[in-house]
Chains A and B, each alone.
Chain A
Amino acid sequence: MAITIPILILAIPLFMFFFLGLFGMKMSHKLAGTLGTLGMGSVLVLSYFTAFQYFFSGLDIFVNEAGDRLQYLVFDQTWLQFTEKLVIKLGFLLDPISAMMLVVITTISFMVHLYSMGYMRDHHGVFEHGFQRFYAFLSLFSFSMLGLVVAPNIFQMYIFWELVGASSYLLIGFYYKKPSAVSASKKAFIVTRFADLGFLIGILTLSWYTGTFNFTELTSVPVEGLAGVTQVNIGTAESIRNIFATSAAPTFMGASVLTWALVLIFMGGMGKSAMMPLHIWLPDAMEGPTPVSALIHAATMVVAGVYLVARLFPLYLMEDSAMIIITVVGALTAFYAAMVACVQVDIKRVLAFSTISQIAFMMVSLGVARPEYHEGLGYMASMFHLFTHAMFKALLFLGAGALIHAIGSNDYTAMHGLRKSMPITHITFLIGCLAIAGIIPFSGFFSKDEILSSCGQYDILVYLWMSLVAGLTAFYMFRLYYLIFWWKEHVTPEGHHAPHDQPWTMTLPLVILAAISCVAGFIPFGNLVTWNGEPYDFMAHFDWSVASISLLVAICGIALATVMYRKENELPAKMRRALPALWTWCYHRFYWDELYQFITHKIIFGLISKPLAWFDRHIIDGTMDSFATLTNKASEAIKPLQSGQIQMYVFYYLIGALLLGGITILCLI
């Protein structure tokens, strides 16, 4: 495979970033937007081509005789050499998940580029201030995200991980005049930075033990009897395994170093993927423009954590405790987010919590995946859900963006009954809701069903729990749907335009994404993406009993939502009065933000930083100053001796001379 195309996939967005960033202000808004979109479009084509090549060309660099998919290193350049062995390289790794992610990222990114052409202007067609900057940032983000997914080593991943964080910061804070946007962007960056600290230490630990950053070496299948995914030196993999298997490897606080490393790396993933308790930045990140939410905070960046775990999946397999942590964190987060999503007013917030919940699904799916259960069905299900979720969640966000653009508010209280005035939005939004609720034949049904069935294989408790969350998902999504499009007739406030469907730049992406959501479920994912590259027909693992139960649960959720929210009625208010405590806690997101606020402001700032600053100024600096003061004082004290009064000088002289003389005399005698 030629090196040109992969290079271009990364180079075009980077070039667009610099080009639009430096010269964007000189060109018209329209030109900048078009250029950005075209650039992304070409990346889209190239990525599709690459993915297609990878999956379907059947070249022997991609697939071996047995039909296993291989990891293929397109290029790998030394970037920074720490020691002989520890080298950061920048490269391009093609394997099932990175090829899939290329498709996901470029698709969503292109849709968002196109959509923003319509979204980022007001009703009179005037482009927003900083439109060119917006496209530059979008390009930067796409570049970083693509770099992240194709990273052949964990350090490159970390590099792009950080870049993704920074571009997310810039995009959330796009409306930099708005204080809430600024603080949201700050929060997002700092929370993920904190998670990255764990990630970094995890990388350091892992690389210290294994002496490598490369995924191929780190993750060659460690379990005997299964064919290797890659053409790596098996010896390396063996030795890595031995490093951790031997008792010589130290333990720290009761857990082995590998566990610690993996848990710390997972912490990085928790930060980016908004797992509890590091999820607090994601709802606030909705302060960014809606296309940004669709791109970054629904479809691509937030799944980076899932992707990270999937990347290191063979390593995680070696540590059951790490897997359990992933499962538990995922399960708790999924439920928590679903609960909170049920009562939010801001439609973007609902979607944000729904995203958290869905990503938690993927995490759980990874956490319960074992080679012995359906050949690692959970892994495949997780990736599948990642794919389908990206599509329908982007669809939902873009739909929400269309609504917000039309209404001018984020609250559903300002919407209601929009199904007639915005038919295209309505239909596509409904498709998105059906997909996420898991109704056959929409894509969400298939992926979620597989997640549930792998949970069922692992533990019945997890299965029940996740099914409950799936039901909640259906409920809150349809609550949202009904409250926006039904409930009561829409009343346009005085002086506002009547809501209507948006221009084609905005509706076209909706339609495309809706179409994908309808059909994506039928993609034979098991043939394409599996944890060890060995393809299988996932229909063989399809469990109709699980499927029918999950369908039933989803329908129950939808039915409940229909009863409560289809028409204006008293039921929701009654429910709220019946369970006031629960409602309040959910509404305030279980007070996580307040807790963090307390920790950062009261403890970090109030109890550490301020006292330290005081300590510095008064104790340390005071000591230094007191040396000076002491010198000054001493000088003041002996200054009167130099009074300028010659008589005193004479006196001192005399006394001194007499002392000396007296001593001399005494000595002479």
Chain B
Amino acid sequence: MFSNILIYFVIIPLLMLGGVGLSRNIRQIRAVAVIGSVALMALSTVLLLQYLDLRHAGETAPMLFTDSWTWFAPLNINLAVGVDGISIAMLILSSIIVFAGSFASWKVPQPKGFFLWLLLLSTGVFGFFISVDLFTMFMFYEVALIPMYLLIGVWGSGRKNYAAMKLTLMLMGGSAFLMLGLIGIYYHSAPEGGQLTWNILEIAARDSIPHGWQSFLFPMTFVGFGVLGAMFPFHTWSPDGHACAPTAVSMLHAGVLMKLGGYGCFRVAIYLMPYAAQELSYIFLILTGISVVYGAFCACVKTDLKYINAYSSVSHCGLVLFAILMLNSTAMTGAIMQMLSHGLMTALFFALIGMIYGRTHTREITQMGGMMQILPFLSVCYVIAGMASLGLPGLSGFVAEMTIFVGSFKAGMADYLSGEGSLRLVFTIIACCSIVITAVYILRVVGKLLFGPVYDKHHLELTDATWWERTSTITLILCVAAIGCFPNFFNNLINTTFTPEIFAVLGK
């Protein structure tokens, strides 16, 4: 069991949990968190290198490092693991954000409990990304969701009880759909009389889910994951939840947890039920297309920094789901890039907002101004984050969005010319419009918050970022820039997953 590298992605967070549990003061907790997250980053790097080596050596299996340990034989539940380029990208993202998050919560009150829950959440996240067994996946998914309630409810601010409850209940509602869908998949995972399985790879290989059932199970799973991916109209947990969550939780949640939604939509809904994906994608295309512009428009008039960012997340994550539904490899690659990009970018945003809030004790942009003079480091970082968000070339947002647009335009034109309607094309163009609206709200915030005269004289006494805050933000900025400057590396990493076989099934 311990010969497989993937299992360490769960073991390390568990060890960290133990370490935090045994720690006696905040120094030890910090040490555990930093060492552990560095170990996770190292592990994901090693995994990436090994994976690339194997691919280079000509491995063509859809997933590498696969392994399976029986857990509950009567229902054929296994702890089955395996990764492809997408999972690796997500694992890298998660480890980076856990790292940055640990630094961002350097001075959190009641650190022990906080880190315990945070690490439990990370365990769930990592477990989710490495598993290829639907049941295990779902279990890790829930493990990642539950700590959120406590983290927001106990360490949050504002209407935290309301927000925590809302977030948890809406996500739980989503997982209720999801569970239905997963169980449905399980019961159709084999032709009549065959051995049922939860294993994604086997199900995909068998392709035995009847079309009628697919049309039922696809919406279930898509909505189930879509709730976590902040799909319109199931996104309202996101603004409240993010606004009330403590910094590191917002980072982890927007940075990683929301990616679970997109990842799940691809890995389960589309991958396993290609027929229904083809037939029903238009419903969700409309919904996600709406999310993209809708989130952006809403962000234009909000005055709370976290609300703005949460709505911007709705817009960006909507783009992820939107691109996935385009069902072509370019757009899907773009979707994964957007997940990476948005994960890093929004984590950076939330980290910065948390740092600013920690100093000014307000998140209202109307009550702040001229931060550039007071907190130059944080402000510059904020501008960079904003530029990444509005898609400045050289930062990650641009490549992700462009890949998505090129891919979905391709899909849209193909549809249009073959007489299948212009829905995809129209929504692609609508989604393109979001780049303008994004610019509007980002610049509005930057202008009001950072530039202009100092609004509050008390703010003049604030001090700029401390070293741990700098570590956190610089890590994220470097990653954002790395994706933005060398996109082809990630593109190739992700692209290998979208083999022609997948799209052969889709008929594209």
Q: Which residues of A contact B (CB under 8 A)?
A: 78-83, 86, 88, 155, 159-160, 162-163, 166, 169, 173, 176-179, 182-183, 185-186, 189-190, 193-194, 196-197, 200-201, 204-205, 207-208, 250, 604-605, 608-610, 612-613, 616, 620-621, 623-625, 628
- B409 near A204: Cβ-Cβ < 8 Å: yes
- Closest 9 A-B residue pairs measured CB to CB? A176-B451, A159-B393, A621-B236, A204-B409, A609-B300, A182-B451, A193-B439, A609-B301, A186-B443
CA distance A190 to B370 in the complex (A): 21
- For the complex, would chain B's binding face be called helix, strand, loop or mixed by DSSP majority? helix
Q: Given contact pairs A80-B491, A82-B330, A182-B451, enumerate 15 new A-B contacts (beta carbons under 8 Å).
A: A79-B487, A82-B403, A163-B393, A176-B450, A186-B447, A201-B432, A208-B409, A208-B413, A250-B417, A613-B300, A620-B232, A620-B233, A620-B236, A624-B166, A624-B234
Interface pair B436/A162, CB less than 8 Å apart: no
Q: Please state if B407 and A82 are interface contacts (CB–CB under 8 Å).
A: yes
Nearest to A213 among chain B residues (CB) is B406
Q: Mark B277-308, 1 if CB is under 8 A from A, else 0.
A: 00000000000000000100110111000000
**Cβ A200 vs Cβ B435 within 8 A:** yes
Question: Are A624 and B488 in touch, CB under 8 angstroms?
Answer: no
| Choice from A163, A177, A201 contacting B453 with Cβ under 8 Å | A177
Given A186-B447, A201-B429, A204-B405, A613 and B302 contact (CB-CB distance below 8 Å): yes
Whether B300 contacts A162 by the Cβ 8 Å rule is no
CB-CB contacts of B398-425 with A at 8 A, as 1s and 0s? 1100110111011001001100000000
Chain A contacts for B409, CB-based, 8 A? 204-205, 208
Nearest chain B CB to A357 CB, angstrom units: 27
When A and B form their complex, what is the total count of cross-chain residue pairs whose Cβ atoms lie within 8 Å? 132
Min CB distance, A284 to chain B, in Å? 13
Residues of B contacting A204 in the complex (Cβ-Cβ under 8 angstroms): 405-406, 409, 432
The answer to whether B488 and A80 have CB atoms under 8 Å apart is yes
Residues of B within 8 A of A604 (CB): 300, 440
Q: Which of A162, A179, A208 contacts B393 (CB 8 A)?
A: A162
Minimal beta-carbon separation of A74 from chain B (angstroms): 20
In the complex the two chains form, is A78's CB within 8 Å of B439's CB? no
* Cross-chain contact A186 with B444 (CB below 8 angstroms): yes
CA distance A162 to B398 in the complex (A): 10
Q: Flag if B452 contacts A177 (CB, 8 Å).
A: yes
Docked complex Cα distance between A176 and B382 (Å): 15
Structural contact, B432 and A182, CB atoms closer than 8 A: no
A545 to B205, CA, bound (A): 80
B174-192 with Cβ < 8 A to chain A:
none
B52 on the A face (CB < 8 A): no
Are A162 and B392 in touch, CB under 8 angstroms? Answer: yes
Q: Name the B residues within 8 Å of A190 (CB-CB).
A: 436, 439-440, 443
In angstroms, Cα B57 to Cα A242, docked, is 42
CA distance A470 to B240 in the complex (A): 59
- Check A207 against B406 for contact (C-beta < 8 Å): yes
In Å, the complex CA distance between A208 and B415 comes to: 13
B244 at the interface (CB under 8 A from A): no
Q: Which residues of A contact B330 (CB under 8 A)?
A: 82-83, 86
Does chain A have a CB within 8 A of B169? yes
Q: Is the CB of A608 within 8 A of B488?
A: no
**Complex Cα spacing A80 to B393, Å:** 12
Q: Contacting A612 at CB < 8 Å: which of B170, B294, B417, B450?
A: B294
**Neighbouring A residues of B85 by C-beta, 8 Å:** none
Closest to B235 in A: A620
With contacts A80-B491, A163-B393, A624-B170 taken as known, whether A612 is within 8 angstroms of B297 at the C-beta atoms is: yes
Closest to B441 in A: A609
* B387 at interface, CB cutoff 8 A: yes
Give the Cβ gap from B292 to chain A, nearest Cβ, in Å.
13
B298 contact from A182, A616, A623, Cβ within 8 A: A616
Look across to chain A and name the residue whose beta carbon is closest to the beta carbon of B429: A201
Q: Which residues of A contact B405 (CB under 8 A)?
A: 200, 204
Which one of A81, A166, A196, A609 lies within 8 Å of B488 (CB-CB)?
A81
| A189 pairs with B439, CB closer than 8 A | yes
**B residues 225-244 with Cβ under 8 Å of A?**
232-237, 240
Complex CA–CA separation, A608 to B300 (angstroms): 10
When distances are taken between beta carbons in the complex, the residues of chain A under 8 Å from B354 are none
In this complex, what residue of B is CB-closest to A144? B393
Contact mask for chain B residues 356-386; partner A; CB cutoff 8 A; 1 contact, 0 none:
0000000000000010110000000000000
The answer to whether residues A166 and B387 also contact, given A80-B403, A159-B398, A190-B436 and a CB cut-off of 8 A, is yes
Contacts of B492 in A (CB 8 A): 81
For B11, list chain A residues within 8 Å (CB).
Answer: none
